[in-house]
Amino acid sequence: MAMIMPKTDARPLSAILWMLGSGLCFVGVTGIVRYLGTDLPAVQSAFVRFAWGAAFLAPTLIAMLRTGVPGVHVRLHLGRGVVHVAAVVCWFYAMARIPVAEVTAIGYLNPVLLTLGTVVFFGERLATRRVVAIVVALIGALIILRPGLREVTDGHLAQVFAAVFFAGSYLFAKRLASLASAGQIVAMLSLVVTLALAPLAYWVWVPISLSQLAWLAVVAACATGGHYCMSRAFAAAPIAVSQPVVFLQLVWATILGSAVFGEAIDPFVLLGGAVIVGAVSFIAWREAVLARRSTLGVPGPI
Do the domain assignments include residue 301?
no
Q: What is the DSSP string of 73-94?
A: HHHHHHHHHHHHHHHHHHHHHH
Given a contact cutoff of 8 angstroms between Cβ atoms, the answer to whether 270 and 101 are in contact is: yes
Q: Is residue 1 part of a domain?
A: no
Residue 4 forms part of a structural domain? no
The answer to whether the CB of 223 falls within 8 A of the CB of 26 is: yes
How far, in Å, CA of 147 to CA of 138, rounded? 13
Q: How far apart are the first and last CA of the chain?
A: 15
Kindly report, residue by residue over 24-76, the tens digit of the pLDDT: 998 899 889 889 888 999 999 999 999 998 898 888 888 877 877 766 678 88
Task: With CA atoms as reference, report the closest residue to 60 among 174, 193, 181.
Answer: 181
Domain that holds residue 218: 12-296
Q: Give mean pLDDT, residues 210-225.
A: 92
Is residue 183 a part of any domain in this protein?
yes
* Helix or strand holding residue 230 (H, E): helix 210-236
- At residue 292, the pLDDT reads 65
Give the mean pLDDT of 212-221. 94
Which pLDDT belongs to residue 2? 41
pLDDT in tens, 131-155: 888 888 889 888 998 887 788 899 9
Q: Is residue 82 part of a domain?
A: yes
In a domain, 135, yes or no: yes
Number of separate domains in the chain: 1
The answer as to whether 90 is a domain residue is: yes
Give 236: exposed, middle or buried? Use CB within 10 Å, 0-12, 13-18, 19+.
Answer: buried
Q: Which DSSP state fits 147? A: B
Written as one letter, the residue type at 35 is Y
Report if pTM > 0.85. no
Contacting residues for 55 by C-beta, under 8 A, at least 6 apart: none
How big is the chain, counted in residues? Answer: 302
Domain assignment present for residue 161? The answer is yes
